[in-house]
Structure 1
Amino acid sequence: MSSPMPPVDYSDEKVGIYVVTLLLAFAATLSVSLRFWARRLMRLPWGIDDYLALIALLIQHGAEAGTIVCVELGGLGRDVRLFTIRNPNATVYFYQSIFAIEVLYALSSPIIKLSVLAFYWRIFPTRTMKVACIVLASASIAWAIVIGIVDFVQCQPLRAFWDVQLQQSPGTKCINIILFWLGNSAANCAIDLVTLILPIREVMKLHNSISRKIGICAVFLLGGVAFAASLTRTISTIVLYYVGVTNPNIVEVYVAVIGACLPTLIPVYRRLRYGDASKSSKASHSGKKEISINTIGRISNRTQRRTAGEGSFERLRNEDSFYPPDSQHTHHIDVSGNGDCRPSKDTQLDDIPLKGIIVRHEIAWSDDKSPVV
């Protein structure tokens, strides 16, 4: 005997869905914009991790458009029995929108993971980290391929996914959509968890105080909001399996984009608080003015008291804090008297009188204790 139908729900969650998704869309867009601004503040070129974050955001905006269709034409947020009375095709629009969202999700979710891994690759150039990034990137790409294939074969024929009448046909075969969501969400959650804890090992190897290491770890753990969103989606999918299909989780990727961008926004925070993207609170409160010196290869920062008559120096990026202790650093410094070092337009590089401070900073990375050649 079939179970009795649940009572009709007259509530309308349409406004709530719009508020949540549009606010997250705005926050994610702002995060990516600030990420690019942070790179510009530090006078660094935009990297592949930045572009991947932008691509993931644009794809998810496409999924947001699908969400709007799902709300307006498919009745998302309202009892489907009431909505179909006014719009008999609501079920078709609903499942077509869900299909589009799932396809776009299979693209945007792994791309934002690749952005995070590219960020790790850039700031932790050790062999262990690179191997881990390759493994996780391969897992993310494999996940995307599998989910993309299943999206298009989940019903035979595919049209049966949104055509309820065709689903009743004897020749139609469809997988359990809730179990499919649960499987891809659980795998996605596992990849997010490993990605979240990946930089902890490298941070603990730094030559810094415990409090400094904890602070750096906290910055990277800001990306944990992506894991939290993925875990929430997994739990909600389990609930859907036992309770029945209600409203799917459609905000996970936006949260992941925000989490991926947060660790990169430190220059923006320093610019807004201290007026200088490369100043720390310690330097700002000590009464000293930071100056930086141009380098060949990597960069070097020095904090000195500026005396009258000193020329200004251009601030460069500070990545030394992420170098592990097993890396080898070689500094070559030449110092000569003060003078005007500005060459004329016709002066060749080799003829420039290098008056001032010149630093060459060479770094060799090694994960073992063997000597580096």
Structure 2
Amino acid sequence: MTFTFPIETQDQKALIGCGVAFSLLPAVVVYLRILARHKANRPIDTSDYLIVISCLFVVCYQAITISAVFVGGLGFHVDDIQNRFGIESGATVFMKHLVALQIFWALGLSFCRISIIHLFARIFVIQSFIVTARITCVVIFLWALGAILTPFVACRPFEYTWDKSIEGGGTCGNPLISWFVTGSVSMICDLVILLMPMPSLLRLELAWTKRLMLAATFGIGILTCVVSVMRIISIAGIDLEDVTFTMPHAILFSALEPCIAVTLACVIVLRPLFGGEYLPDGTATFHTPSVDAIARKNSTRRFRQLNDDSSETRLRPEEVGYRATIAKSPEPFKGFGVLGEGLEMGLISIKQEWTVKEEPRPTTSETQHR
């Protein structure tokens, strides 16, 4: 019969509480993302399926964490597990949990990152961006593969990972080094994904305030980078001789990292839930003011109108000196995912042309006498 450890320490309570919260939060935002798709009349695409899979791995990670507390003795000293509770195998059960935790941590993060990149690739259809996105996906795949295989190749034989008493013994590398390496590469991947859309956003023909707002919306991924740094720092405090007591903080940050990643990946596409009308093809419609209202709003000029007799020269447009054309695309531009997958930057392009000609004021008898 499996022994169940009592919940006594603050670390145990924190791991259980965060495990529940970190399961509910990504599940709720993923549901809201699907709901936003439905409200905007947009079909579920690959990025949505990937984020759903990522969410499932994240929830599984939290379940394994809670199991490690109740069954693996996470939060207690190894000596307490052996002497107080009479479990001779010590941290054996926890180390089995740790292998599963590393696998689900890597899977949850990698699927989430590829989902974000796929979404960005539909928004920013630029050749250089597409190339960068593909290279980043390859790096993420290789990172995930390395993180998943590491616990299987770190010790020979594999069972020696959790059972140091097996007949004939075995050898193990230093797991702290592999955790540092996978954590550092993970943080670099987060930074690359964070910076990828910034050049395209800052080059948009929008007011600086709007560009900065968009950059801030996409830049909330910096929170994931911060958590990655905290996770790497916490790894430095792990004592492999007392792993069940020194591991909770690292596991807590490892649980928080994919949870925040999934949450932020969904937040940037939830705009349809906050209002707006959408056509059956997924195109957003906007309630813009009338032409008269726009004319009244822009009636204040930045220069003073000249009277006929106020200068030796006058400003006069040529016969067809001013032309303005307004055109609306008949169909949404599919390459941009209806221009922004919820960003709704608009589908109207306006081109204005005018010419100002300066010519001498006509000579009259009145001006000759002045």
TM-score by length of 1: 0.69
Change (3 A) 1:31 1:281: farther
Deviation for aligned residue 1:221 = 1.0
Q: Does 1:258 align with 2:257?
A: no
Contact between 1:110 and 1:140, CA under 8 Å: does it hold in 2? yes
Moved more, 262-271 or 36-45: 262-271
Moved more, 87-96 or 194-203: 87-96
Deviation for aligned residue 1:82 = 1.9
Contact between 2:224 and 2:260, CA under 8 Å: does it hold in 1? yes
Deviations 1:188-235 (A, max 9, x none): 001101111111100011110000000100110122222222222112
Deviations 1:219-257 (A, max 9, x none): 101222222222221121133379974123231211211
Whole-Å separation in 1 of the counterparts to 2:195 and 2:95: 36
Change (3 A) 1:319 1:49: same
Which residue number in structure 2 is paired with residue 202 of structure 1? 200
Q: Is the radius of gyration larger for structure 1 or structure 2?
A: 2
1:105-120 to structure 2, matched below 5 A, reads: 105-120=105-120
Q: Which amino acid aligns with 1:95?
A: M
Change (3 A) 1:12 1:145: same
Q: Matched residues, percent identical? A: 22
Q: Which amino acid aligns with 1:257?
A: V
Which residue number in structure 2 is paired with residue 270 of structure 1? 275
Q: Which amino acid aligns with 2:157?
A: P
For residue 219 of structure 2, the aligned residue among 215, 221, 228 is 221
Change (3 A) 1:137 1:165: same
1:34-113 to structure 2, matched below 5 A, reads: 34-84=32-82, 85-88=84-87, 89-113=89-113
Change (3 A) 1:322 1:64: farther
Which residue number in structure 1 is paired with residue 355 of structure 2? none
Change (3 A) 1:318 1:188: closer
Q: Which amino acid aligns with 1:154?
A: A
Q: Which amino acid aligns with 1:259?
A: L
Whole-Å separation in 1 of the counterparts to 2:163 and 2:342: 57
* Structure ranking higher on relative contact order (CA contacts 8 Å, 6+ apart): 2
Which residue number in structure 2 is paired with residue 134 of structure 1? 134
Contact between 1:123 and 1:319, CA under 8 Å: does it hold in 2? no
Whole-Å separation in 2 of the counterparts to 1:258 and 1:83: 36
For residue 30 of structure 1, the aligned residue among 24, 28, 31 is 28
Change (3 A) 1:210 1:242: farther
Deviations 1:5-25 (A, max 9, x none): xxxxx8442221111121121
Whole-Å separation in 2 of the counterparts to 1:116 and 1:317: 12
Deviation for aligned residue 1:278 = 5.5
Deviation for aligned residue 1:184 = 0.3
Moved more, 83-92 or 98-107: 83-92
Deviations 1:158-212 (A, max 9, x none): 111111323xx76511111111111100010011011111111000111100000
Change (3 A) 1:71 1:319: closer
Deviation for aligned residue 1:269 = 3.2
Whole-Å separation in 1 of the counterparts to 2:122 and 2:64: 34
Secondary structure of the residue that 2:91 maps to in structure 1? Answer: helix
Contact between 1:223 and 1:263, CA under 8 Å: does it hold in 2? no
Whole-Å separation in 2 of the counterparts to 1:24 and 1:188: 20
Deviation for aligned residue 1:322 = 8.4
Root-mean-square deviation (Å): 3.2
Whole-Å separation in 2 of the counterparts to 1:72 and 1:280: 54
Q: Which amino acid aligns with 1:86?
A: F
Which residue number in structure 2 is paired with residue 334 of structure 1? none
Q: Does 1:321 align with 2:345?
A: yes
Q: Which runs of 5+ in 1 are unaligned?
A: 1-9, 272-276, 300-315, 332-373
Deviation for aligned residue 1:135 = 1.0
Deviations 1:330-368 (A, max 9, x none): 99xxxxxxxxxxxxxxxxxxxxxxxxxxxxxxxxxxxxx
Whole-Å separation in 2 of the counterparts to 1:148 and 1:139: 14
Deviation for aligned residue 1:30 = 0.8
Contact between 2:271 and 2:342, CA under 8 Å: does it hold in 1? no
Change (3 A) 1:240 1:322: farther
Which residue number in structure 2 is paired with residue 146 of structure 1? 146
Deviation for aligned residue 1:295 = 3.6
Contact between 1:270 and 1:278, CA under 8 Å: does it hold in 2? no
Q: Which runs of 5+ in 2 are unaligned?
A: 1-7, 277-282, 295-327, 335-339, 352-370
Query: How many pairs are equivalent?
Result: 288
Whole-Å separation in 2 of the counterparts to 1:165 and 1:322: 66
Secondary structure of the residue that 1:296 maps to in structure 2? Answer: coil
Secondary structure of the residue that 2:331 maps to in structure 1? Answer: strand
Deviations 1:306-335 (A, max 9, x none): xxxxxxxxxx97766289xxxx9799xxxx
